[in-house]
Amino acid sequence: MGLAFEPFTLRTYMSENAMGSTMVEERFPSGERALATGKEFAAHKKKVGGMPVDWLVKTMQARGLEVFTQSFSRTLPFPDENKERYIVKGTNVYGILRAPRAPRTEALVLSAPCSPGDNNNQAVGLLLGLAHYFRSQVFWAKDIIFLVNEHDLIGMQAWLESYHHTNTTGMDWSPLQGRGGSIQAALSLELSSDVITSLDIILEGLNGQLPNLDLANLFYAFCQKIGVLCTIQGRLQRNDWDSVSGYSHAVQTMMLMVMKQASGRPWGDHGLFLRYHIEAATIKGINSFRQYKTDVTTVGRLLEGMFRKLNNLLERLHQSYFFYLMPSLSHFVSIGYYMPAFGLLAVILLLRALDLWVQLVSPPAIAVDGVGDVAQQSSPGVLSVLTPLVISHLTGAALYILPTRFQEIAVEHFPVSETEAVVLTVIAVYTAGLALPHNTHRLLSGEGTEQGWRVLKLVAVLYLAVLLGCTALINFSLGFILALTLVPVAAFVTPHVPKTLSAVVLVILSPAFTLLFSVFFFQELEEMPVSFQDGWLLYLSVISQGILDHHLYGSLVYPLIALMVYPCWLLFWNILFWK
C-alpha cells in the first residue's frame, strides 16, 4: 500500500532514444470532416443493421489505401448473456497505407471497433480522416494498417490469428489477402462523442500482460504537449500527494490496475496484440461533466504525433519496463519495488515448510530399542499423502471439464438457461469438493497419522509456494491477491485447531470467496457500489465471463484456479479434518 505514496515511486521517463523528443509539428486539420464521415458511417451502419462493409471498402479505396476484407465465424461454448450472442459471424475491413520510404518490412496498426448502436462512430470517422491525411505525407517508413473490426475482441482475435498464421482458439476465418510487415505497435481507438473532456489510456491486456512502459510515456508526453487532459483508470492525476485524500486517490488508482490485471481479461481491443509481442494500448475518449472540452481535431493531432514517433523506431520497444504498476500517469512502481512485498509473503511458506521438515526428521525421543517404531511411523507417508493429492486434483479436473460438457443435460432436466447451467455446475462441483471423503487415511493403519498430516502439509505448502511464485512472475496482481488469502490458511492449518471456527475461516479465504470479495471491492473502487443481490448476480456473470474468456481468447485464470489453486486449497481442507 505504501508504494502508491509518491516519494516511494519513480517518475516516468522516456527510455527509447528514437522517441525521446516530441518536437514534431502536428498539422492534422480535418476534425470536422472526420465527424461528418462518422455520421455517414453511422447512417450506413443503421441501414444495413451491422457493419457497412461495402461502404467502408469504397471509402477506404477513395482515400488511396489497399483495401481487404476478412470474414470469420465462431460458435461460443455457451451463450454470452452479457452481449446476447451465441453464433457470431462478421467481417473485418482493413486498408494498408504502404510505406513510401522503406522496404515494407514493418507496420503499425490503428484500429477502431465497429460497436453496436451509436457507440464508436466518431472513432471510425477519425480513423478514416487520419488515413486520408497520412496518405498525403511522405515520411512514413512503416506500413500503416487501418483496421475496423466487427464484434470487438472476437473480430480482433480472428484478424490477428490470420495475420500471424496461427489458430489457437479453433475459430473459423478466411485467410488475409493482403498484409504489411511485422507489426511493431498498435493503437485502438474508442470515441463516442463529438467533443471529449479527457483521454483515458487502457493498458491491461490478456493474462495481465502490459505493453512496454514507453508507450504510456509517449501518450502522456503528447497529452502534456498538446494540452489534453489525460487519465489512467478514468482518474485524473492529483498534485496534493502529501495529503490523505491525494494518497488515497493514488492507492485507489493503483488498486484498480491491480484488480484489472488480476482478472486476466483484455480490457480493450489492444489486449490481444500483446501475446504476439506487439506493444499496444487502447485510447478512449471520455466526455464527462467537466468544463474543459477538446475537439476531434486535437485528438487527431495527438494520434498523428504518436504515430510519427512510432514511425521513427529502429527496433521494437524494449528499453523500458514490461512489469509495472501505475498510481498515476507520471509515476510508476517497477517490478524491483513491488516484488519484495510478494517475497515477504512467500517466505512465510518456506519457513513453515522448514519447520515441518525439522519436525519430521527429528521425531520425539524414544528408547534405543524403539528404532523400529520410528521407521514404521513414517512408512505410511506415501499413501496417506498421495490419496488426498490425487482426489483433490481429480476434483479440480472435474471443475474445469464438467461445466461446459454437462450444460445440455442440465438444461434438459432443470428450468435454467445454458449460461446458468454452466455457472451452477461450477458452484455445485466446487461445493461437492468440500464434502469429499477426507478420512482416506482411515484405510491405512492407525499409526503414523501425526506424521501423515505433517508430510501432506509439507507437500501442500511447497506446492503453494511454487504455484504462487510462478503466477506472480507472469501476472503479479493475481499472484499477490491469491497469496494474501492463501498464505494465512497455509500457515495456521493443523488438525489440532478448533474445527468449526477454522472451517469458517478456511471457506472465507477460499478462491471462490476471494473472487466474491474482489467483485464488491472492484465496484467500490469504480465508485459504483452495488447491493448484495446485484453483487451476487454480477459474481455469477463474472464466473461465466471467465470461462468464456478462456475458451475464446485463451485467458489462463480459469484453468489456473480450477486445476491448481482449488486443489491446493483442498489439501489444506483435508489437513483440517485429518482424524
Residue 284 confidence class, pLDDT cut points 50, 70, 90:
very high
Which amino acid, one-letter code, is at 547? Answer: I
Give yes or no for residue 484 having a pLDDT over 50. Answer: yes
Q: Give the pLDDT score at 378.
A: 47
Give yes or no for residue 379 having a pLDDT over 70. Answer: no
CA separation for the pair 367, 354 (Å, rounded) = 26
∠ CA 50-51-56, nearest 5°, is: 150
Give yes or no for residue 130 having a pLDDT over 90. Answer: yes
Distances (CA, A) of 304 to 94, 120, 185, 197, 222: 19, 19, 14, 19, 10
* Average pLDDT across the chain, whole number: 87
CA separation for the pair 229, 198 (Å, rounded) = 5
C-alpha cell at 138: 511522405
Q: Give the pLDDT score at 447.
A: 43
- Torsions phi, psi of 295, nearest 5? -90, 175
Residue 346 confidence class, pLDDT cut points 50, 70, 90:
very high
Q: What is the mean pLDDT of residues 91-110?
A: 89
Q: Which range has the worst mean pLDDT, 87-96, 369-378, 522-531?
A: 369-378
Residue 460 confidence class, pLDDT cut points 50, 70, 90:
very high
The burial class, CB within 10 Å (0-12 / 13-18 / 19+), for 363 is middle
271 touches 188 (CB < 8 A): no
Q: Is 89 helix (H, G, I), strand (E, B) or coil?
A: strand
C-alpha cell at 346: 512467500
CA separation for the pair 194, 116 (Å, rounded) = 18
Q: Give the pLDDT score at 215.
A: 92
Q: Does domain 21-233+267-307 have CATH number 3.40.630.10?
A: yes
336 touches 326 (CB < 8 A): no
- pLDDT tens track for 21-79: 666 788 888 888 989 999 999 999 999 888 899 999 999 999 889 999 999 999 888 88
Residue 448 confidence class, pLDDT cut points 50, 70, 90:
very low
- Percent of the chain topping pLDDT 70: 94
CA separation for the pair 527, 255 (Å, rounded) = 13
Give yes or no for residue 258 having a pLDDT over 90. Answer: yes
pTM: 0.90
Give yes or no for residue 419 having a pLDDT over 90. Answer: no
Alpha helices (runs of H) in 227-270, residue ranges in sequence order: 244-263
CB count within 10 Å of CB 412 equals 8
Pairing of strands 106-114, 10-11: unpaired
CA separation for the pair 48, 339 (Å, rounded) = 52
Q: Is 30 helix (H, G, I), strand (E, B) or coil?
A: coil
CB count within 10 Å of CB 471 equals 25
Q: Give the pLDDT score at 374.
A: 47
**What region does 251 belong to: left with phi over 0, alpha with psi -120 to 50, or beta?**
alpha
The residue assigned the cell 479436473 is 397
Q: Is 100 helix (H, G, I), strand (E, B) or coil?
A: coil
Closest by Cα among 214, 187, 211 to 199: 187
Burial 84-114 (b: 16+ CB within 10 A, else e): eeeebebbbbbbbbbbeeeeeebbbbbbbbb
Strand ranges of the sheet holding 182-190, from the earlier edge strand across to the other edge: 172-173, 66-80, 85-97, 143-150, 106-114, 182-190, 279-286, 198-202, 230-232, 235-236
SS percent in the chain: helix, strand, coil, step 5: 55, 15, 30
125 touches 37 (CB < 8 A): yes
Domain ranges of the chain: 21-233+267-307, 381-577
Q: What is the DSSP letter of 188?
A: E
Q: What is the mean pLDDT of residues 295-303?
A: 91
- pLDDT tens track for 493-511: 888 888 889 889 999 999 9
Q: 571 or 292: whose pLDDT is higher?
A: 571
Q: Give the pLDDT score at 262.
A: 94
Q: Is 368 helix (H, G, I), strand (E, B) or coil?
A: helix
- Torsions phi, psi of 547, nearest 5? -70, -40
